Amino acid sequence: MGCLHGGVIMSSIAVIDTSTLINLKNIKCSSLIDYLEYYLCTTIYVIQEIEKGKEDTKNFYRQLESKNKIKHVKLSIEDLIEMARVPEHKKRISNAELSCFVKAKNFGCKTFCDDKRAINYAKRYIELGEIVGIIHLIKEAYIKGYIGDSEVLTYQNRLHKNKFKTQGDLLNEIAAEKLKLLIEGKAIS
């Protein structure tokens, strides 16, 4: 189901945090966003983190922005009030993560975030919407047939090289899930 934004239903909008943006850059596959037809939004706090970060991350963000693949969304007073309900804890959550959680929840759409510590900390204080990360995006693209076995292995290896650990054998896990969906006769779309 899509979310309502400015009176228009957008079937695949998502608010992306720095962590998943960096992971997309690291696997060298921004086309996952194209395949899955996500329209990405992000907040000023994410943009500030990116601007303080590595040059390749800045360039990746700017490339997405120049292709209209990502847009800055402003935080409302209500967003800021909800963010203020979560006590600051610099080692557990940043304003970038928190602003994405709140904005996505208020839009009624997904948050892309790979920082489990931030997710677990925030949900102690506020209700969160659906949060997924890079593994979910890879899985979704595989199940829908946009990428194959070799791409999954390549992405997993690139994630490992960049110190993002996956549990178990990602390819076998998502191949089994795809097979299960096929056996159950559930449409893959």
Torsion angles phi and psi, residue 75, rounded to 5: -90, 135
Q: Is residue 135 within 8 Å of 155, Cβ to Cβ?
A: no
Q: Which two tokens stand for residue 153?
A: 């292995």
132 close to 100: Cβ distance less than 8 angstroms: no
| pLDDT tens digits, one per residue of 124-141 | 888 888 899 999 999 999
pLDDT tens, position by position, 83-101: 998 888 777 889 999 999 9
Percent above pLDDT 90 for the chain: 54
pLDDT bracket for residue 189 (50, 70, 90): low
Q: In whole angstroms, what is the distance from residue 101 CA to residue 103 CA? A: 6
Express each pLDDT in 32-79 by its tens digit: 888 888 889 999 999 999 999 999 999 999 999 998 889 999 999 999
Superfamily of domain covering 3-134: 5'-nuclease (3.40.50.1010)
CA dihedral for 95, 101, 107, 112, sign (positive or negative): positive
Q: Torsion-angle region of residue 13: left (phi > 0), alpha (psi -120 to 50) or beta? A: beta
Express each pLDDT in 40-52 by its tens digit: 999 999 999 999 9
Quickly tell me which residue has 């060298």 as its tokens. Answer: 28
Rounded CA separation 89/61 (Å): 26
Across 151-156, average pLDDT: 91
pLDDT value at 149 more than 50:
yes
Structure tokens at 13: 């909008």
The C-alpha atoms of residue 132 and residue 187 are separated, in whole angstroms, by 21
